[in-house]
Structure 1
Amino acid sequence: AEVYTDTWVTDLQQRADGTWDVITDRDHTIHAEHVVNAGGLWAREVGRMAGLELPVLAMEHHYLMTEPMPEVIAYNETRGRELPHMIDFAGEIYARQEGQSILLGTYEQDNRPWAPKETPWDFVFQLLPHDLDRIAPELEKAFEHFPLVGKAGIQKFVNGPFTFSPDGNPLIGPIKGMRGMWMANAVMAGLSQGGGVGLSLANWMVHGDPGADIWGMDVARYGDYATLAYTNAKVRENYSRRFRITFPNEELTAARPLHTTPIYDRLLAHNAVMGAGFGLEHPLWFQKPGLEPKEDVTFYRSNAFDTVGEESRTVRERVGLSEASNFAKYKVSGPGAATWLQGLFTNSLPKVGRTNLTAMLNPQGRIEGEFSVSRIGEDEFFLFGSQAAEVHHPRWFLAHLPADSSIEFEVLALSMVGLTVAGPHARDVLQQLTDTSLASNDFPFMAFRKVDLGMAPVWLSRMTYSGDLGYEIWVQPEYQRYLFDLIWEAGQQFGIGLFGFRALITMRLEKNFGT
């Protein structure tokens, strides 16, 4: 290994063969197969050298250290060990022993990003000015909850920056479509996370797999929607909730709404309680008219429970309509597409006009993705998968495209949106809107064809994850609003109702359908 100290990297340039030239200020260029961006406070700036905008933000963070405390010394002498680490959920504060003192830090509500747009290159081993008025509410709670700390002398206050991703977890792994570019950033907890991050990244670079499920740290969990403003809002929200108790099904509100579909206002008019995934708003459940569309989070049954049950029964007994746009959607086409996909998937490809379900494995046998594969030509396919993996999946596909291939891999995102109609009367509702026979013999389970519904050309799939008779309808966004109104009107005689993602998951589990 060669180590270059006191050497400033000024640029990163990728060659045609995918390798990198690391340009330095010493009139020296390092040619590298792999580049790891472990820039810390300067992660964004290093990323920008390669044309990347990373969702990382530095936050000011205060802590204090007391004078040596007799109570700490006595505890150590009588117990033979240090005080345990302490977290106060009510105050967003933490405390631990440091020598014979107590170190106490705050995650204040009135928090401040540091260098929100660009980190100065000359900031080295420096601290920031104290802002004690801003953290005073948290300190008051701390001294109330830990009275001995409040009575102790204060040895010093420290205010320094450290980096966060929007959800507070690290950003590690390879970058989609950028061979040899790796991330190891937003490691806000330092040494406590560093070993695991390093091990995972080393495994990934050497063996092609991190060695464990580290999705919560994968840089691919964020897409282009995670802009500077989005990152700022989500990091500040996360910082202020650092030690907050998180409840099941809790939805956070910062940086929302961002992406919406054409029926967003229709869903809100029906009192939808919205969730967000990968930047997109989608309906979780529909509150009763006249009540606030809000879920009261709890570790027990929330106020959504009965309503989700009613939505499920509507689908099981009559017919339900729902948004279906929160899937990742891809199109694969071109000579050799079928052969290429067959080499990636575990299941056989479907025939033209049909859909199959399949997993995609890596060489270690671990699952890289699960898809509905709909074949619309000999070498033309739609793939539907988890929306959360809308960067992860393309990263894998693009990394395994054959050299000099004419195969086209396209991320459709919101250029294709969807609706789901499910329940015993689903066929009755849609048959009113099309001249295409939807009878079981003519349009069987797992069929996938282009038909007209009213005046809208759609891709119609005879499947639904609720496990009922049902259809997924895939369209260009300009038709979704029209189709929503058309189907809603046609379904009135059959008692149609709206259902959300919670009901869909409930019904999927009842039918023992995998994710």
Structure 2
Amino acid sequence: MSPGSPETSRNRSSEQSGACDSLRIQKDSRVLRYGIIHAGGVGKYLSDWILHGEPPFDLIELDPNRYGKWTTTQYTEAKARESYGFNNIVGYPKEERFAGRPTQRVSGLYKTLESKCSMGFHAGWEQPHWFYKLGQDTGYRPSFRRTNWFEPVGSEYKQVMQRVGVIDLSPFGKFNIKGQDSTRLLDHLFANVIPKVGFTNISHMLTPKGRVYAELTVSHQSPGEFLLITGSGSELHDLRWIEEEAVKGEYDVEIKNVTDEVGVLGVAGPHARKVLQKLTSEDLSDDVFKFLQTKSLKVSNIPVTAIRISYTGELGWELYHRREDSVALYNAIMDAGQEEGIDNFGTYAMNALRLEKAFRAWGSEMNCDTNPLEAGLEYFVKLNKPADFIGKQALKQIKAEGLKRRLVCLTLATDDVDPEGNESIWHKGKVVGNTTSGSYSYSIQKSLAFAYVPIELSKVGQQVEVELLGKHYPAIIIQEPLVLTEPTRNRLQKKGGKDKI
């Protein structure tokens, strides 16, 4: 069974497991034909994958599950021509390529938002990166330095920090899992505990070697029924893993991929509660609708699954709804928020906000090259839970042997360039690590980045250098997070007032 099969899959027998693995490997070997020059490396990694159940390095950039039903013949032809023509051009950070776009996979808000923003391509979806205002340069201006989106993104950052913003999160991968073995399956898959009914948590699936295969939010909607959310680029990557484990373990579960059917709106900022409360009879107060709770309710008479969570780290909700209701829900929220100065924000602003809160991102701070301990994810890994989750024994050994490197947060003063990820970290004339992601921090007006460094260089206050465009910029490791999350600020304020914050 693979994600290419019908979207609702029922576990049938263990005999499917071998067939599934065989099909997956055959499929991967076909897609991974990357040219003669790459053949030796690809062959080795495939053989390691077959023999050991996972490759020695993260290979998601070559994963055939990057593509789905939206990858039509017309799209493939357009992309083949574009890719060949761009074979020797210089690539830019945040680069977009436009052939074959948009695909059939657009959110319910695409027509509403397309003229207001610069869209980015995410697993077939079009998602707003940043929004423009009257008189601003709306062109596509890729650059290694700060370009025309820099000031608009700063405005969106302030919008979320000071008022309230709305973001289209429909590209999230979304899976419904239910059945008499659903809890047992997820307890085997995830290193975290299973959340109580009505609550959500952040959980990680690990490989047998203890590396981070995936990060998802797990919402326990009703006894034995779960909603799992992952990033757009990880949809089929994660679904494949879940389905294969369900088959191998003979779990009696039903797994349904509802990614294309369900739209998502994020509402975040200090006035988020005030705006949404106008549209629902459900009590959204902090004591009644707690952080990480999930509830089914109606917003402007539209059924939604509301989760009190936001990747911005500010007060916010994610509203899961039928895709066909997206425009009506969006318009109702925007109308209700006029008094509070509501406005849109995109993924560039969200990235700056999440970095200041020290939120990790799968594919950057963690992937199949990293373990959760060095990535600073200990809070989400429960080595003492009874279930023998995948990677548990390997992780215990990693912990016993001690870490060799650690993820740190650092600030650096640059001129007009910001780290993006994969830049070299220097110390005393040697390369000692690399950044994983970065952005401009609009709160301290400096560059901010995550980076992996040797454990002996990971203490707060340690000075290093980051190489950007051939120049070494001084950087310092800081105590994370740079900005406390809204739930933390709220809790500290209740305990000790503003002085404690």
Shared topology, TM-score over 0.5?
yes
Aligned equivalent of 1:133: none
Secondary structure at the residue paired with 1:315?
Answer: helix
Looking at structure 1, the residues matched to 258 and 302 of structure 2 have their Cα atoms a distance apart, in angstroms, of 19
Q: CA deviation at 1:481?
A: 0.7
User: SS in structure 2 opposite 1:360?
Assistant: strand
Q: Supply the distance in 1 between the matched residues of 2:31 and 2:186 (Cα, whole angstroms).
A: 35
Residue aligning to 1:412? 258
Match status 1:211 vs 2:209: no
TM-score, normalised to structure 1's length?
0.65
Kindly provide the CA deviation profile for residues 237-279 of structure 1, in whole angstroms up to 9, marking residues without a partner as x. Answer: 000000100111111100101121121121124x111111110
Larger Rg: 1
Structure 1 vs Structure 2: percent identity of aligned residues?
Answer: 35
| Contact 2:128 2:346 (C-alpha < 8 Å) held by counterparts | yes
Deviation at 1:291, TM superposition (A): 4.5
In 1, Cα distance between equivalents of 2:34 and 2:253: 43
Q: What code does the residue aligned with 1:321 have?
A: V
Question: How far 1:201 moved relative to its partner?
Answer: 0.4
* Preserved CA contact (<8 Å) 2:137 2:148: no
Which residue of structure 1 lines up, in the alignment, with residue 497 of structure 2?
Answer: none
Among candidates 100, 105, 109, match of residue 263 of structure 1: 109
Q: Which residue of 1 aligns with 2:233?
A: 388
Matched with 2:15 is: 17
Name the counterpart of 2:216: 371
1:302 aligns with 2:147: yes
Output the aligned Cα RMSD.
Answer: 2.0
SS in 1 for 2:260: helix
- What is residue 4 of structure 1 aligned with on the other side? none
What's the CA shift string for 1:8-65, capped at 9, x where partnerless? Answer: xxxxxxx99349xxxxxxxxxxxxx789xxxxxxxxxxxxxxxxxxxxxxxxxxxxxx
SS at match of 2:70: coil
Q: How far did residue 186 of structure 1 move?
A: 5.4
Q: Distance in 1 between matches of 2:87 and 2:181?
A: 49
**Residue 103 (structure 1) aligns with:** none
Question: SS where residue 159 of structure 2 aligns?
Answer: helix
| Whole-angstrom distance in 2 between the partners of 1:390 and 1:293 | 31
Structure 1 gap ranges (5+): 1-14, 20-32, 36-173
Aligned mates of 1:193, 1:479 — CA distance in 2: 46
What SS does structure 1 have at the residue aligned with 2:174? strand
Whole-angstrom distance in 1 between the partners of 2:345 and 2:334:
12
From 474, 481, 484, the equivalent of 2:327 is 481
- Indicate the residue corresponding to 1:437 in structure 2: 283
1:133-165 CA-to-partner distances (Å, cap 9, x unmatched) read: xxxxxxxxxxxxxxxxxxxxxxxxxxxxxxxxx
In 1, the alpha carbon distance for the partners of 2:136 and 2:353 equals 25
Where 1:254 maps in the other structure, the secondary structure is: coil
Contact 2:33 2:39 in 1 (8 A): no
Q: Does the CA contact (< 8 Å) of 1:295 and 1:302 recur in 2?
A: no
Whether 1:312 aligns to 2:157 is: yes
Whole-angstrom CA distance in 1 between matches of 2:214 and 2:31: 25
1:183-262 matches, cutoff 5 A: 183-185=28-30, 190-258=35-103, 259-262=105-108
Give the drift of 1:335.
Answer: 0.4
> Over residues 490-513 of structure 1, what are the superposed CA-to-partner deviations in whole Å (9 max), with x where a residue is unaligned?
101001111001101110001111
Paired amino acid for 2:15: D
SS in 2 for 1:489: helix
Cross-structure match for 1:134? none
Q: Which runs of 5+ in 2 are unaligned?
A: 1-12, 362-501
Q: Secondary structure at the match of 1:274?
A: strand
CA distance in 1, matches of 2:329, 2:306: 13
C-alpha displacement of 1:406: 2.7
Which of 248, 260, 267 is the matching residue for 1:421? Answer: 267
Give me the whole-angstrom Cα distance separating, in 2, the residues matched to 1:228 and 1:405: 36
User: Whose RCO is larger (CA < 8 A, sep 6+)?
Assistant: 2
Q: Report deviation, 1:181.
A: 3.6
Q: 1:457-511 CA deviation, whole Å, 9 max, x = no partner?
A: 1001111000101111000112111110000011010011110011011100011
> Which residue of structure 2 aligns with residue 324 of structure 1?
169
How much does 1:189 deviate?
5.7
Which runs of 4 or more aligned residues in structure 1 lie more than 4 Å from their structure 2 counterparts after TM superposition?
186-189
Shift of 1:398: 1.0
Aligned counterparts of 1:475 and 1:448: Cα–Cα separation in 2? 13
Task: Pick the aligned partner of 2:314 from 465, 468, 472.
Answer: 468
Aligned pair count?
A: 347
Equivalent pair of 2:174/2:259 in contact (CA under 8 Å): yes
Q: TM-score, normalised by structure 2?
A: 0.67
Aligned amino acid, residue 275 of structure 2: V
Q: Secondary structure at the match of 2:15?
A: coil
1:182–1:414: structure 2 CA closer, same or farther, 3 Å change rule?
closer
Alpha carbons of structure 1 residues 263 and 190: separation in structure 2 relative to 1, 3 Å = closer
